[in-house]
Amino acid sequence: NAGVTQTPKFQVLKTGQSMTLQCAQDMNHEYMSWYRQDPGMGLRLIHYSVGAGITDQGEVPNGYNVSRSTTEDFPLRLLSAAPSQTSVYFCASSAGQEQFFGPGTRLTVL
Amino acid sequence: GQQLNQSPQSMFIQEGEDVSMNCTSSSIFNTWLWYKQDPGEGPVLLIALYKAGELTSNGRLTAQFGITRKDSFLNISASIPSDVGIYFCAGHHSGNTPLVFGKGTRLSVIA
C-alpha cells in the first residue's frame, strides 16, 4: 500500500493563478480531509469528505474548493491564489478514528 | 473552531531526560490520538486511546486517556535525539465528525 499520496511536493504560484493539489489513498478509506499548517497555528481543517459525493466545510474553507467523485481521490482546488494561502497542505484519510496523513504539499504564493 | 489546549508549546531537554506533555479540553472526547511530525513530513500516529482511564504504551511512549474524558497526556522516557519534532494531540467526538487538533508541542533534544 502506498497509503496517502500527495502531488506536487512543492509549488510556487503567482497571485491570481489557479491550481489543484492532488490527494489519493489506496486504503479504501471513506473519510478524507485537507488541512493547512502554518507556524504556531497547528493543523487547521479546510474541507472534509465522509464518502464519495459528499463534502463539507472545515474551519478555514474560504478560497478552496473540493470534490469527491471517487473513494480514492480528493483534490483541493485554489481558484485564485492569494499570498495568505502560502502554507503547507496535508491530506489525510481514515476508516475509523485514526487518521493517516500524506507527506504534504508546500505552496508559496507570490 | 474548537481547539485543544496543548502544553507546553515548546520544550528543550537533555538527552536521556523524561518528557511530559498534555492536552485539555472543555468538552468530552470519545477518542484521543497522539501524533508526531518530523521536519518536512506529515504527522504520524503514535498512540490511539479509546476508553476513559486507558493507559497505553508504544516503546518509550506512554499516553493516558483522562478519566474525565477531557484530557490526555503523553510521556516520553529516556529521550533520544530522534525524538525531536512536533507532537500533536487530537480528539474525536463521535461518528464522522472531524478530528480536533492541539497546536502542538515542539520538542528539542540536546545531546
Residue with cell 487530537: B90
**Is B2's pLDDT higher than 70?**
no
Quote the pLDDT of residue A2: 80
Per-residue confidence band for A106, with pLDDT thresholds at 50, 70 and 90: very high
Quote the pLDDT of residue A96: 84
Q: Which residues contact B48 (CB under 8 A, 6 or more apart)?
A: A97, A98, B31, B32, B33, B34, B56
Nearest CB to B98; choose among A45, A102, A104: A45
Q: Which residues contact A94 (CB under 8 A, 6 or more apart)?
A: A29, A31, A100
Residues in chain B with CB shorter than 8 Å from the CB of A33 are 98-99
A12 reaches B (C-beta below 8 A): no
Contacts with B, A 56-75, CB within 8 Å: 58-59
Reported as a single tens digit per residue, the pLDDT across B16-70 is: 999 999 999 999 999 999 999 999 899 999 999 999 999 999 999 999 999 999 9
Rounded to whole angstroms, the Cα distance separating A32 from A92 reads 6
Per-residue confidence band for B93, with pLDDT thresholds at 50, 70 and 90: confident
Three-state DSSP string of A17-72: CCEEEEEEECCCCCEEEEEEEECCCEEEEEEEEEECCEEEECCCCCCEEECCCCCC
B98-108 average pLDDT score: 93
Q: Quick one: which H or E segment has residue B39?
A: none
Reported as a single tens digit per residue, the pLDDT across A16-67 is: 999 999 999 999 999 999 999 998 788 999 999 999 999 999 999 999 999 9
Quote the pLDDT of residue A40: 78
**Cβ pair A101:B43 closer than 8 A:** yes
Per-residue confidence band for B94, with pLDDT thresholds at 50, 70 and 90: confident
> Whole-number mean pLDDT of chain A?
95
Residues in chain B with CB shorter than 8 Å from the CB of A40 are 103
